[in-house]
């Protein structure tokens, strides 16, 4: 069987990292046959592949069977739609789009069910999160009552934000920590617990940095069954924390510092409350600890899954249509904070798109300016005009 001919669009840190995984033999039955970046010097680093400076030229080249999109966020939609319409398989970096309306446009572009369309949510390969999901789906936790996730270990300096003028701007990136650092966490949140019914967001815009987007977020979620959740993230706190805690009928689950601990009630907490005769009694517990030697295959495993889906029909770890959920959560948090009110889900995609366009119109970054990957090309600029 012939290997998958892959084209990589975007040769920044992520695109080059994916290329390294493939060229070092970590992904079987896959070869890089084309690359694209607005900066010719980056394209020149891959002399064995056909080089392009415009994504539409690569897509029309007949040099690839599939593409991996690792560009700034706005171009995910533009290049993804063009590739799907050209009959190519597509793997897109997170987030699949900047906002829900664009995500819907991108997902709708896949008309041929034979085309493999995936998103790079590599945290789904982490055995710790897979174990959390297993415990939830198998009913080990019982009914979930409260979820708390603090993810403040995304610390970034001012120097980071100055790497490119497009970074942390409404027009260049479409958002801050919610769109750049936290899509993985938001994806895991909905993958583990499902989508909430209501969202109330509080966002600090430029609280810690000289940027025009959010770098500090606290969000409150309400679920249809009465469960509640708090989601906290920031790029301005050091040292940071990454702690997931779940309170459920059958006990408490905590994941922190590479240790997953389930403190299990011998009697479900609500049942114990109804039947106990002593006023200050608490359920007896047993503690279970889960540790794994690594955090899974991550990017290489996701690339292999993409290739295996194309060649063997293997189920995808992260089908791209599921990527709309993390985008919707990020948009809902931001819209709630901007309007100072609770947002009901499903999110009104048109309302958020209108809000985003108002922010883009006053952004310090303008399409056509220099950024970390080179010059914004015409196909990328078109997405800013929506």
CB 53 within 8 A of CB 40: yes
pLDDT digits 0-9 by tens, 16-43: 999 999 999 999 999 999 999 999 999 9
- 156 phi/psi in degrees, rounded to 5: -135, 145
pLDDT, position 373:
33
pLDDT of residue 51: 98
Strands 50-52 and 66-69: unpaired
- pLDDT of amino acid 164: 84
- Kindly give, in sequence order, each residue whose CB lies less than 8 Å from that of residue 56, ignoring residues fewer than 6 positions away: 82, 379
Which burial class, exposed, middle or buried, applies to 69 when counting CB atoms under 10 A from its CB (0-12, 13-18, 19+)?
buried
254 burial type by CB count under 10 A (0-12 exposed, 13-18 middle, 19+ buried):
middle
Confidence at residue 376, expressed as pLDDT on a 0 to 100 scale: 37
Complete domains list, the chain, with CATH: 4-123+298-321 (3.40.50.720)
The CA distance from 9 to 80, in Å, is: 10
- Per-residue pLDDT reduced to its tens digit, 141-195: 999 999 999 999 999 999 999 988 889 999 999 999 999 999 999 999 999 999 9
What 3-state class would DSSP assign to 129? Answer: helix
Instruction: Tell me if residue 242 falls in helix, strand or coil.
Output: strand
Q: Rounded to whole angstroms, how far apart are CA atoms 346 and 355?
A: 16
What is the pLDDT tens value at each position of the chain, 386 positions in all?
Answer: 799 999 999 999 999 999 999 999 999 999 999 999 999 999 999 999 999 999 999 999 999 999 999 999 999 999 999 999 999 999 999 999 999 999 999 999 999 999 999 999 999 999 999 999 999 999 999 999 999 999 999 999 999 999 888 899 999 999 999 999 999 999 999 999 999 999 999 999 999 999 999 999 999 999 999 999 999 999 999 999 999 999 999 999 999 999 999 999 999 999 999 999 999 999 999 999 999 999 999 999 999 999 999 999 999 999 999 999 999 999 999 999 999 999 999 999 999 999 999 999 999 998 764 433 333 343 333 333 33
């Amino acid at each position: 069987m012939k290997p998958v001919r892959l084209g990589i669009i975007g040769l920044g840190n992520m695109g080059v990292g994916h290329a390294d995984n493939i060229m070092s033999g970590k992904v079987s039955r896959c070869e890089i046959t084309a690359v694209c970046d607005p900066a010719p010097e980056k394209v020149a680093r891959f002399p064995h592949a056909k080089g392009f400076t415009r994504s539409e030229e690569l897509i029309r080249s007949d040099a690839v069977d599939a593409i991996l999109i690792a560009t700034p966020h706005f171009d995910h939609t533009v290049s993804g739609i063009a590739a799907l319409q050209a009959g190519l398989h597509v793997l897109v970096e997170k987030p699949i789009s900047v906002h829900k309306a664009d995500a819907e446009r991108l997902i709708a572009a896949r008309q041929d069910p034979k085309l493999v369309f995936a998103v790079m949510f590599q945290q789904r390969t982490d055995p710790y999160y897979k174990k959390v999901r297993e415990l939830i789906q198998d009913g080990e936790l019982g009914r979930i009552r409260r979820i708390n996730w603090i993810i403040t270990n995304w610390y970034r300096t001012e120097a980071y934000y100055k790497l490119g003028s497009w970074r942390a701007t409404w027009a260049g990136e479409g958002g801050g920590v919610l769109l750049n650092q936290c899509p993985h966490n938001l994806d895991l949140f909905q993958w583990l617990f499902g989508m909430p019914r209501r969202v109330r967001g509080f966002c600090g815009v430029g609280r810690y940095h000289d940027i025009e987007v959010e770098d500090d977020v606290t969000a409150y979620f309400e679920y249809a069954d009465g469960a509640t959740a708090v989601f906290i993230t920031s790029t301005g706190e050091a040292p940071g924390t990454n702690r997931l805690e779940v309170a459920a009928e059958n006990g408490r689950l905590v994941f922190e510092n590479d240790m997953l601990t389930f403190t299990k009630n011998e009697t479900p907490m609500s049942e114990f409350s109804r039947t106990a005769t002593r006023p200050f009694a608490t359920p007896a517990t047993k503690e279970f600890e889960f540790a794994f030697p690594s955090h899974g295959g991550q990017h290489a495993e996701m690339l292999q899954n993409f290739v295996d889906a194309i060649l063997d029909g293997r189920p995808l770890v992260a089908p791209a249509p599921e990527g709309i959920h993390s985008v919707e959560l990020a948009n809902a948090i931001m819209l709630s904070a901007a309007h100072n009110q609770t947002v009901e889900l499903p999110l009104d995609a048109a309302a958020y798109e209108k809000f985003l366009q108002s922010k883009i119109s006053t952004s310090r970054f303008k399409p056509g300016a220099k950024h970390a990957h080179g010059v914004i090309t015409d196909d990328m600029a078109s997405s800013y005009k929506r």
